[in-house]
Chains A and B, each alone.
Chain A
Amino acid sequence: MLHSQSVQLLCLTASSGVPLFSRGSAKPLPFSIIGSLNGVHMFGMGHDASLSCCETDRGGRVLWRVFHDSLMLIGASSNAEVSELHLRRLLENAWNCMVLVLGLDELANVRNVERLKRELRSCYRLIDMLLERGVDDLDCDGDQGLMGDLTHCTDCILLPQPDLLQETLESFTRAAESEFGCLLVRGRLAVATEKWWRLAPQELILLSAIANLPPGKTSCDYPVFLPQGSPNVALRLMCFQLLPGAIACVLCGPKPSLHQVENEQVCCFWSPVVDNLRSSLDQVERSPLYPSITFNRDVLCLLLINRDSRKSVASLGPTCSKSPPPLSPARRWEILRLFYTFAVTRYFTSEETPNSWCPPSDPLHEEFSSGFTHLPVHCYLLTDECKCYAVQTPQHQLFLLTDLSVPTFALRSVATHTLDVITTATGF
């Protein structure tokens, strides 16, 4: 049995059921159970019934997905807070990770199982990071408030004066003979070239994750396949640490070597803007929204999603004067994730992008919101700890938590006002 609270990810070959890897839980599941988990699904496939998920009375879940008819991913969770949406996203992200590292061709046509097993080891770190996100312990400060893995929207920060950094990035990218470049500040996208934004959101999330991965290195060079953009042709992702927490990334072809770019261009382009970088790092410490934006003091935290460009910004509210603060930041992020899941699985659209492996005609999960005859635009929840409010407009989705002291009837105006303030001030 799984350790309570843990999530485990299993990967097997779909046709033969050979286990490829198992990540997550400290104590892996015994082989017999992995075998039967795979077995029930395979048996169903033989009878024209594909098992999608199941749930236990304590909130445990198992989810099955077959990708490209070649690999099967099984997610098993004994944690009641891991929702079906979360688990589904986890499997999708894990698959994307594998494609990112190994390429689609390698995965879709498994020739040598043993070799694949060895090769898959290189994505363990990425997958492990995804598994830890949003599950239980949020020890690592840097990851707090990163919700891209769940929302499939790129986590961003909004800088007050992005122009200088934007220009620097663009010339830097050009110098690296590329059109795809971005600047990450604490794992969040600060500025990016236009082409970078055209990548699929799932790719952006993973690229940010990769770039953010190695602590302590100043530069790195990974071969990556883009799951949507170029699943079979590898590109190079070059990352340069400019300051601790600030990373510049470039996607490029075979040409400029890492050494060349690092020695010649990084200093030349980025050293004049070090002060800007510092100030933006400081800003993120406080809030990914810039300080001139003032909104209600009772807002505990918020998540704003731009539905068109698939970017999101998440922030804790203004530091509360009350002592002790009503809710710890970790708990706030936790509730925000839960509330996002709640609202999106029931009322709002979850920004499902058509996937290459799953044609939209086969819904493996039920959309509760499709049963509504009218369009849900707002929703709220009152719990013992806080009040949650969500707004959906054609362009945005806003999820925010407020203190219990806010009267319920004022929630709506707080939320719409917050949305107005942010969007008008930043054009997000």
Chain B
Amino acid sequence: MAYREFGARFEKNSACTLSEKDEEDEAAETSDGSETHSSSSKDSEYSDELEPEWLDDVQKNGELFYLELSEGEEEAVLSQVTAAQSAATNHVRFSEKEAEIIPDKSSKKRADSNTKSHPKFKKLAKILGRKRRPSSRSRADGKNGRASQQPASILKNQTGQRMGLVVQQPYLKDVCVYINPKRLGNMSPPSQEEGGLLEALLGVVLRTRNGLSCNGERLVIHGLVPHSPASKCAQILIGDILVAVDDVEVTSENIERVLSCISGPTQVHLTLETGIASTVMDSEVPRSRPTAPVSQLVRLLWGEDTTELQMSVAHVPHIAMYLSLKLDSESAQVEQEILYQYPVSEAAAQLKGIRGIFLTLCDMLENVTGGQIVSSSLLLRKHLVHVGYWKEGENLLVIGLPADRVPLLHLQAVLKGLVRTLRVMYGSLQSAFCEVENAPRLDHLFCLFFQRLIQPSRLTDNPVSSSLNISGTLFLDDLPAMRWLTLPPDIKVEVDTVLSDFESSDFGDMSEDFYGMRRLYVILGSCLFYKGYLIANHLPKEDLLDVCLYCKHYCLLCLGAEQRVGQLVVWREVFLQRRSQPEFSTTTHPGYCESNGRVFLLIVGLRHYMQCVLLQAGGCASLALGSPGPDCIYVDQVKATLLQLESLESAIEERLSAPPTPCLSCADWFLPSSGRDRQDVISSSPILNRLTAAIKPPSPSTIGRNLFREAGSGPKGRKPSPQRSLSDSGSEQGDIGLRMPSAGTRRDSLGSGGSDGSGSSGGLFKIPKLKQPNPFYLGSLKKSLTEKEAEEMQNTMKLTAGLENTLFHYILMETVQGIFITPTHRELSHLSGSIHPQLIRNFHHCCLSIRQAFQQTLPPRQDSRGADRPHISRGLGPVKEHGILFQCKPENWTDQKKPAPTMTYWVIGRMVQEPVPQEFYVCFHDSIPEVPVEMAFRLSFGLAV
């Protein structure tokens, strides 16, 4: 293992056995108080001494997919509190080891760890032992004791057992709650008068507060502390009697002792005697949130039991097959032409049964109409199914998908994306499907693939992204571009600098130069994501697309967007498509040729950040032999980079919560709803806008940001880079005061449509028109200006812009850079309403068609299949612009007397070749005059990329 060869140099004690591990852990534990300000390089060395937790998950071929949730998320999975609540808890653990680096450890905790260190480390050893077992996929580290005792991880779906309560006797119920003694923090041991550990840990208040001492009374629950584990689980009722904790009978006499034995965060089993008949408290009682959908994706990624998810799509006909076109009459094996197949459901079996059709069509159509078959449609038990074909050599990849999920227009794009991903991962379809050991990995990939297409809502928990329905995901996922987040220039520079620092491979005394040996890898480039948005990219476009296709197919982007990833390490060899294309060798600059070494992809995710790095072996780096696993040094360096970037998180968050530029309108503002404001039908939008704004609660982000800043400034001290400290002391701190009020007023303007922020009610009737910066005005280019200038510009624009803001949604794709900009999820969530989500869904569906029209009519080019498509027919000719006008009416229009009001809006797509190839998709209200539209197109709607 490469790690061993290299890492051994740094290891003081390379023979690290299990028993010694305990001591090392202890050493780590005790030293962490002083280690808080250790530099990141120190960190990595430190984790060199301890094996990184992902090491055991490295597979034989060197690949690694290791995912660990942050503690907050684990807790969410465990006790099913909402993700939002858990994210609010302050301690974040980056990894198992670093978890101990929580700066302010109490003296009590210290004492605790002294006394309890032994059993605790036993547990750790057990966990490590468990992980040492060959496991095909990584699993959440079982931090708590229960998980290590029960090999069947509690993270697995055991709905009834986990959350629900099992009725044992008529009046006894079992409840599982998640408790974390560490959260007691530096409080002194709670005294009996305050309710003791029972109140502090569980949040249960007892009736006999004074007499709790030692009379062996039954524990009758008198009250619940808000936000405590007991109240969160919502199944402990006042009046219940606590009978046992983890099957140990408890009374007022021993409860404190029992609870004090719980040392780490864990799930405890409470047995309660309840006065309410257990039938009422059935575990089947529907909860507002079904079994933590957050974990669905994560569980899928962990490769855990996914039967439930698969069962839910079993009736939907879908299949992936890799078939051989060669007839081999020698071997009489059954189904020998099927090289690979997924899934094994009834509907899929039916599609498998008619594979003869696919094979025959593929073979025959060339003789009938000329050209390769790309798709066919068939009616399977009343379901229309589209089948996509991809022929490579003597084999045929067939993907069947239901027509109501993937329109025929879009099937090709989906298939192309999939094929490219497979090629990136395995080099060719042949090598992907024809090697037996790949089968489970492909199963995993296709499971994700179909889940993503057929029921994307099951995988996400984000209300906004789930409102982005199938066509939205379809369209955005298959654009040859990544979602880009524009950052203020100063932050962008900083991010880029940090990335460049990393890419220079100058790791100080960790570097290979230091030891005079050839470096293992050359860093080709990297790209950085924050919450699924691309914020920096140092990769050529095609490489970026390769990397991102991998991330998309493994849902890594939505993972980072929705939950805080404790640690994500992915390592695998990739085959960049740019290099496999024939023109690769010819189009490079004269005198320069790129070396053709093996390329590896390293993805490291921490919290909301994710960095993808392409590493090349060979060339000036040493040749890679066999299938090397991830190298610790590189992983740690990426981690260090991400930790360094963490200080920028607040700034990025601020950008995310900033009001959208260009400003967006909500469709509902243009349409009086049927229920209320009927008298306002004529006066319509402006007033309604105000009303909605007044109702809307102020967003908490202003307060949150302050907190965030302070929290974020902690790790800043780790490795102060010159740029950082400069901006810290200067611009950033300085303009935070300046930026905040401006952000405040502008947010208001998003809601109210008036920029005169505070006095929204005062100006209610004074200004009959919406005076909002109009996206169709050149003024929205202000993003490229400094904050202050923009502010001034906005002020002046308030006077000049007499138009309503009518831009609903937009997508701008920069074809050359491979990025696109669209309103962020948060911006969308501001624009809530009943019509607006529909409008966005419609917009995306429409974009599918528009883009397909562009693609279909593009002048002929070298096709990706290698065949030059003879473009005999002229068809419609190249389409440059395509627009559709939609009309919408409010649903449930009850007023019989008046006809339902209608709102019309355009969805327009335009493809520009000069000066830079771009594609715009915009959606705006019908009322805009022509000239601003033209102007806005020219100015790219003020979207500075």
Residues of B within 8 A of A335 (CB): 876-877
Residues of B881-904 contacting chain A, CB below 8 A? 881-888, 904
CB distance from A417 to the nearest CB of B (A): 15
Contacts of B877 in A (CB 8 A): 335, 383-385
Residue B225 lies at the interface, judged by CB distance under 8 Å to chain A: no
A278 within 8 Å of B by Cβ?
no
Q: Which of A54-62, A106-114, A123-131 binds B?
A: A54-62
- What residues of chain B lie closer than 8 Å to A261, measured between beta carbons? none
Interface window among A38-46, A93-101, A179-187, A287-295: A38-46
Q: Which residues in B have their C-beta under 8 angstroms from that of A412?
A: 885
Report the minimum CB–CB distance from B410 to chain A (whole Å): 10
Fill in one digit per residue for B845-882: 1 if any A CB lies within 8 Å of its CB, else 0: 11001000100010000010101011011111111111
Chain B residues, Cβ within 8 Å of A346: 409, 849
The stretch of B236-244, B363-371, B602-610, B784-792 that contacts the partner chain: B363-371
State whether B369 touches A78 (Cβ < 8 A): yes
Q: Are A36 and B364 in contact (CB under 8 A)?
A: yes
Residues of chain B within 8 A of A29, CB atoms compared? 368
Which residues of A have CB within 8 Å of B841? 373
Pick out which of these stretches binds chain B: A211-219, A268-276, A357-365: A357-365
Contact partner, B879, options A47, A62, A372, A382, Cβ 8 Å: A382
A325 within 8 Å of B (CB atoms): no
Report the stretch among B128-136, B353-361, B583-591, B632-640 that lies at the interface: B353-361
Tally B residues with Cβ within 8 Å of A: 70
A377 touches B885 (CB 8 A): yes
Min CB distance, B890 to chain A, in Å? 11
Q: Contact at A383–B354, with CB atoms within 8 Å? A: no
State the CA gap A427–B196 with chains docked (Å): 88
Residues in A whose Cβ lies below 8 Å from that of B153: none
Distance between B314 CB and nearest chain A CB, rounded to angstroms: 17
Contact, CB under 8 Å: A77 / B369: yes
The contact of B380 among A1, A48, A378, A384, by CB within 8 Å, is A48
Q: Is the CB of B354 within 8 A of A33?
A: no
A122 close to chain B: CB less than 8 A = no
B369→A382 contact, CB < 8 A:
no
| B378 → chain A closest CB, angstroms | 5
Q: Does A18 contact B (CB under 8 A)?
A: no
Contact assessment for A365 and B377 in the assembled complex, using a CB-CB cutoff below 8 Å: yes
CB A409 to nearest CB in B, in angstroms, measures 3
B357 & A60 in contact (Cβ 8 Å cutoff): no
Asked if B839 is at the interface of the complex by the 8 Å CB criterion, the answer is yes
**Is there contact, CB below 8 Å, between A379 and B371?**
no
In whole angstroms, what is the CA distance A400 to B256 when docked?
84
Query: What's the nearest-Cβ distance from chain A to residue B776, in Å?
Result: 12
* Residue A166 CB within 8 A of the other chain: no
Q: In this assembly, does A371 line the interface, its C-beta being within 8 Å of a C-beta of chain B?
A: yes
CB of B12 within 8 Å of the partner chain: no
CB distance from A111 to the nearest CB of B (A): 29
Which residues in A have their C-beta under 8 angstroms from that of B356? Answer: 40, 43
Partner of A378, one of B365, B384, B884: B884
Question: Which chain B residues numbered 342 to 396 have a C-beta less than 8 Å away from chain A?
Answer: 350-351, 353-354, 356-357, 360-361, 364-382, 384, 386
Query: Complex: how many Å from CA A217 to CA B930?
Result: 56
A335-B876, A372-B842, A382-B879 known; A54 vs B376 contact (CB < 8 Å)? yes
Q: Is the CB of B353 within 8 A of A47?
A: yes
Q: Which residues of B sit under 8 angstroms from A372, Cβ to Cβ?
A: 842, 845-846, 886
Residue from B350, B364, B407, B839 in contact with A33 in the complex, judged by beta carbons closer than 8 Å: B364
Judge if B487 is at the interface, Cβ distance under 8 Å.
no
Q: Say how far B851's CB is from chain A's closest CB, in angstroms.
A: 12
Count the A-B residue pairs with Cβ separation under 8 angstroms: how many?
216
Give A346 to B876 CA distance when docked, in angstroms: 15
Within 8 Å of chain A (Cβ to Cβ): is B471? yes
CA distance A167 to B883 in the complex (A): 46
Counting chain A CB atoms within 10 Å of each CB, which of B351, B857, B876, B877 scores highest? Answer: B876
When the two chains form the complex, which single residue of A40, A53, A79, A338 contacts B357, counting CB atoms closer than 8 Å? A40
Does A366 lie at the interface of the complex (its beta carbon under 8 Å from any beta carbon of B)?
yes
Residues in chain A near residue B92, CB distance under 8 A = none
The distance from the CB of B675 to the nearest CB of chain A, in whole angstroms, is 20
Q: A39-B360, A52-B377, A346-B849 are in contact. Are A383 and B876 (CB under 8 A)?
A: yes
Cα distance A57–B412 when bound, in Å? Answer: 10
- Output the least CB separation between B440 and chain A (Å): 29
Name B873's contact: one of A50, A79, A377 (CB within 8 Å).
A79
Is A408 at the interface (CB under 8 A from chain B)?
yes
Contact A4 B872 (CB under 8 A): yes
Query: CB distance B842 to A374 under 8 Å?
Result: yes
Quote the shortest CB–CB distance from A7 to chain B (angstroms).
10
Do residues A375 and B887 form an inter-chain contact, with CB atoms below 8 A?
yes
B403 within 8 Å of A by Cβ?
yes
A407 to B933, CA, bound (A): 12
- How far does the alpha carbon of A33 sit from the alpha carbon of B381 in the complex, in Å? 27
Q: Please provide the chain A residues from 238 to 274 with a CB less than 8 Å away from any CB of chain B in the complex.
A: none
List A residues 397-428 near B (Cβ within 8 Å). Answer: 407-410, 412
- Chain A residues with CB below 8 A from B369, complex form: 1-2, 56, 58, 60-62, 76-78
Q: Is the CB of B842 within 8 A of A44?
A: no
Residues of B close to A374: CB separation below 8 A: 838-839, 842, 886-888
Partner pick for B857 among A36, A37, A383, CB 8 A cutoff: A383
A366 & B384 in contact (Cβ 8 Å cutoff): yes
Contact between A339 and B382, CB atoms less than 8 A apart: no
The verdict on A81 contacting chain B, using a C-beta distance below 8 Å, is yes
Q: What's the Cα separation between A33 and B200 when bound, in Å?
A: 80
- Asked whether A57 lies within 8 Å of B865 as measured between CB atoms, the reply is yes
Measured between alpha carbons, how far is A362 from B356 in the docked complex, in Å? 23
- Indicate if the CB atoms of A49 and B881 lie closer than 8 Å: no
Min Cβ gap A331→B in Å is 8
Cβ 8 A contact of A60, one of B368, B471, B880: B368
Q: How far is the CA of A375 from the CA of B845 in the complex (A)?
A: 13
Residue B934, interface by CB 8 Å: yes
Is B523 located at the chain interface by the 8 A CB criterion? no
Is A220 an interface residue, CB under 8 A from the partner?
no
B408 at the interface (CB under 8 A from A): yes
B372 to chain A: which residues have CB within 8 Å? 56-57
Task: Say which residue of A54, A382, A383, A388 sits within 8 Å of B365 (CB atoms).
Answer: A54
Quick check: is A381 within 8 A (CB to CB) of the other chain? yes
B876 & A339 in contact (Cβ 8 Å cutoff): yes
Q: Which residue of B lies closest to A338 (CB)?
A: B876
**Known pairs A49-B379, A374-B839; A383 contacts B370 (CB<8 A):** no
A51 at the interface (CB under 8 A from B): yes
Tell me if A222 is interfacial: C-beta within 8 Å of chain B: no
Chain A residue numbers with a CB within 8 Å of B351 are 49
Task: Determine if A342 is an interface residue (Cβ-Cβ < 8 Å).
Answer: yes
Residue in A346, A347, A361, A388 whose Cβ sees the most chain B Cβ within 10 Å: A346
The reply to whether B360 and A40 contact each other, CB–CB distance below 8 Å, is yes
**Selected contact of A57 from candidates B364, B869, B875, B934, CB within 8 Å:** B869
Q: A47-B353, A60-B365, A409-B930 are in contact. Are A366 and B845 (CB under 8 A)?
A: no
How far apart sit A378 and B887, CA to CA, in the bound complex (Å)?
9
| Distance to closest chain A CB from B605 (angstroms) | 34
Residue of A54, A59, A338, A408 with most chain B CB atoms under a 10 A cut-off: A54
Give me 14 A-to-B residue pairs in the complex whose CB atoms sit less than 8 angstroms apart, sorted by A's number. Answer: A1-B367, A36-B360, A40-B356, A49-B378, A51-B377, A54-B361, A55-B374, A56-B371, A60-B365, A342-B876, A362-B379, A366-B407, A375-B886, A407-B930
Interface of A with B (CB < 8 Å)? Answer: 1-2, 4-5, 29, 33, 36-37, 39-40, 43-44, 47-62, 76-81, 335, 338-339, 342, 346-347, 361-366, 368, 371-385, 388, 407-410, 412
Give 18 new A-B contacts, CB below 8 A, not counting A1-B366, A76-B368: A43-B357, A48-B350, A51-B378, A52-B384, A56-B371, A57-B371, A58-B870, A60-B370, A80-B875, A342-B853, A346-B409, A365-B384, A368-B409, A371-B407, A372-B842, A374-B839, A376-B886, A380-B882
Q: What residues make up the interface of B, taking CB atoms closer than 8 Å to A?
A: 350-351, 353-354, 356-357, 360-361, 364-382, 384, 386, 403, 407-409, 471, 838-839, 841-842, 845-846, 849, 853, 857, 863, 865, 867, 869-870, 872-888, 904, 930-931, 933-934
